[in-house]
Amino acid sequence: MTAYRVGYFVGSLSSTSINRTLAKALVRLAPDDLELKEIPIRDLPLYSPDYDADFPAEARAFKAAIAAVQAVLFVTPEYNRSIPGALKNAIDWATRPWGENSFDHIPAAVIGMSTGPIGTALAQQSLRGVLSFVNARQMTAPEAYLRWTPDMFGDDGEVLLESTEAVLRRFLAEFREHVVRVLTVLPRS
Ligand SMILES: Cc1cc2nc3c(=O)[nH]c(=O)nc-3n(C[C@H](O)[C@H](O)[C@H](O)COP(=O)(O)O)c2cc1C
């Protein structure tokens, strides 16, 4: 069976991140032919154009990790009605140096969880704008705005609520179809 390699980014650096738990749940529930692997953003320095002539090792490894996958998935919290700075920084690294945009034509999807009632809706809108500009081929539907509750997950991403599992399974099934469709017309090596 051919497996599609998906790199996911967790937008939170928190050691108790609910979005990391969500990412673990997605790994558990993913269709058999979606291979989800984290692409870490934690060790990236703050981006500056001064690095363009000679990227540091962390940034080279980051761009190599994106080049090695066929699709990307953003699992992010909302910070002050937008995306966390660490995630924006990672996106900026990926799109530089000029002419070497790692996200060009890549199949992408966005999901997120917050403790607040709007479930990262504004962060996701903000991220979608960025992903449009960087020419990622993002899945537009279904959207997935999740509000965390303590009964939702076990410690290692086991999904304890049937309703949450159904939402995540549907999201992943649609994402799989999206990846297949985009790669059909825009293959990646
Ligand atoms: C700096 C900061 C800003 C936040 N802003 C928002 C916000 O705009 N909307 C929201 O729903 N939650 C907001 N929160 C609460 C987050 O939803 C909550 O901290 C959540 O646990 C973050 O996800 P994480 O656990 O994966 O880091 C904010 C939290 C922090 C630390």
Q: Give tens-digit pLDDT for 53-71.
A: 999 999 999 999 999 999 9
| Ligand 1 midpoint to CA 80 (Å) | 7
Other CB atoms within a 10 A radius of the CB of residue 177 amount to: 12
Q: Which atom of ligand 1 is nearest to the CA of 82?
A: 8
Q: Is the CB of 76 under 6 A from ligand 1?
A: no
Instruction: State the pLDDT at residue 189.
Output: 72
What's the mean per-residue pLDDT of the chain? 97
Q: What are phi and psi of 55, to 5 degrees?
A: -65, 140
Q: CA 24, 111, 173: angle at the middle one, nearest 5? A: 75
Cβ neighbors of 105 (< 8 A, separation 6 or more) are 135, 136, 137, 182, 186, 188
CA torsion sign, 149 to 151 to 152 to 156? positive
Cβ 79 under 6 angstroms from ligand 1: yes
Backbone angles phi, psi at 99, to 5 degrees: 90, -5
pLDDT surpassing 80 at residue 183: yes
pLDDT of residue 155: 85
What is the gyration radius of the CA atoms in the chain, in angstroms? Answer: 16
Q: Once rounded to an integer, what is the mean pLDDT over residues 161-178?
A: 98
Q: Counting atoms of ligand 1 from 1, which one is nearest the CA of 19?
A: 26
Average confidence (pLDDT) over 3-7: 97
In short, whether 149's Cβ falls inside 6 Å of ligand 1 is no
Over residues 128-152, mean pLDDT: 98
Per residue in 36-47, pLDDT (tens digit) is: 999 999 999 999
Q: Is the CB–ligand 1 distance for residue 142 below 6 Å? A: no
**Test site for ligand 1: of 115, 118, 145, 148, most ligand atoms within 8 A of the Cβ:** 115
Contacts of residue 82, Cβ cutoff 8 Å, sequence gap at least 6: 122, 123, 126
CA of 15 from ligand 1 middle (Å) equals 13
Structure confidence by residue, pLDDT tens digits, 110-133: 999 999 999 999 999 999 999 999
Q: Is 63 exposed, middle or buried (0-12, 13-18, 19+ CB in 10 A)?
A: buried
